[in-house]
Amino acid sequence: MDASLQTLRAIEELINLPGEMEDDLLEQALLTLSLHGGMIEPRRLKFVLHRLRCLYGSNFAKRQAQPLLKLSEMQHSFAMHGILPATIGLSTVTQAIGYLQSRRRHLVSLLYVMPKAFKGTIPMSGLDALTWMLPLAEMSGTTITGLLQQLAVCELHGDFTLYLDAYGLKASHSYTTLDGMFLEAERGYPSSIAPRRRNLRGSNHYGRIGFSAPRSCATTSP
């Protein structure tokens, strides 16, 4: 799990980096850096990493180097397999930041299922973590995240029922997200979250969202 957590840390740092940079030259060089075709322009990447090292330290620069190189390789792989959302979303660093933010909740959801779904004795390295996690998030992340959300709602409502049919599933209860764009409440502005939480309090949709050991949830088919 350590490699997965470090990978998510690097992704978080990359997502938040544009809002922290005060170096216009670095910002231009980084955000327009092409990841297309598995080939990053070496001189520009070297400049970006050098500036990141000077501003934020060598450890930070190293953490950013690995995902940038891996994202470029995976952009090429997604393109070869015709997975267009990921292919387009990883074309440049600017697009990759938006793409990763939109898949962030899916990546986090994988952490809840990986301990049970993945078995083995060989530790995953930092470079391998993104290779395994990003395709899973792209192709199965919506389903995994949706089911984990239903699990959270199941813990809040004693009469929760999940209806299944040949076309999908529908739950008897739901909850309202505070920031629906990326399914992340924590991405909302603090000034907007507080009043919205007060409005939701006491409604059937309000409650903590956690993933502790669940009780059995009723599942029926219509």
Q: Which residue has the tokens 């990359």?
A: 14
Q: Judge if 98 and 185 occupy the same domain.
A: no
In a domain, 115, yes or no: no
Q: Judge if 181 and 98 occupy the same domain.
A: no
In a domain, 123, yes or no: no
In a domain, 189, yes or no: yes
Q: Judge if 79 and 12 occupy the same domain.
A: yes
pLDDT tens for 108-137 read 888 888 888 877 787 777 778 888 899 999
The pLDDT assigned to 201 comes to 44
Q: Judge if 149 and 97 occupy the same domain.
A: no
Q: Judge if 150 and 97 occupy the same domain.
A: no
Ranges of residues in the chain whose predicted pLDDT is under 50: 182-183, 185-198, 200-222
The pLDDT assigned to 191 comes to 43
In a domain, 107, yes or no: no
160 SS3 class: coil
Q: How far apart are CA 121 and CA 123, in angstroms?
A: 6
Q: Judge if 90 and 13 occupy the same domain.
A: yes
**Number of domains comprising the chain:** 2
Q: How far apart are CA 153 and CA 208, in angstroms?
A: 9
The pLDDT assigned to 175 comes to 72
Q: Judge if 20 and 92 occupy the same domain.
A: yes
The residues that bridge with 220 in the sheet, in sequence order, are 163
Task: Give the end of a domain, one of 102, 118, 137.
Answer: 102
Q: Which residue has the tokens 């950013």?
A: 64
Task: Give the end of a domain, one of 102, 126, 156.
Answer: 102
Q: How far apart are the first and last CA of the chain?
A: 39
What residue numbers bound the domain in which 181 lies? Answer: 145-220
Q: Judge if 29 and 87 occupy the same domain.
A: yes
The pLDDT assigned to 97 comes to 93
Q: How far apart are CA 184 and CA 171, in angstroms?
A: 20
Is residue 44 within 8 Å of residue 29, measured between CB atoms? yes
In a domain, 110, yes or no: no
Q: Judge if 91 and 161 occupy the same domain.
A: no
The pLDDT assigned to 21 comes to 86
In a domain, 31, yes or no: yes
The pLDDT assigned to 72 comes to 93
- Which amino acid does the sequence have at 72? S
In a domain, 86, yes or no: yes
The pLDDT assigned to 182 comes to 47
How many CB atoms within 10 Å of residue 45?
A: 17
The pLDDT assigned to 26 comes to 94
Q: Are strands 218-220 and 161-165 parallel, antiparallel or unpaired?
A: parallel
The pLDDT assigned to 163 comes to 86
Task: Give the end of a domain, one of 82, 102, 122.
Answer: 102
Geometric angle at alpha carbon 37, from 31 and 43, rounded to 5°: 50
Is residue 139 within 8 Å of residue 177, measured between CB atoms? no
In a domain, 190, yes or no: yes
Q: How far apart are CA 132 and CA 136, in angstroms?
A: 7
Q: Is 208 exposed, middle or buried (0-12, 13-18, 19+ CB in 10 A)?
A: exposed
The pLDDT assigned to 31 comes to 94
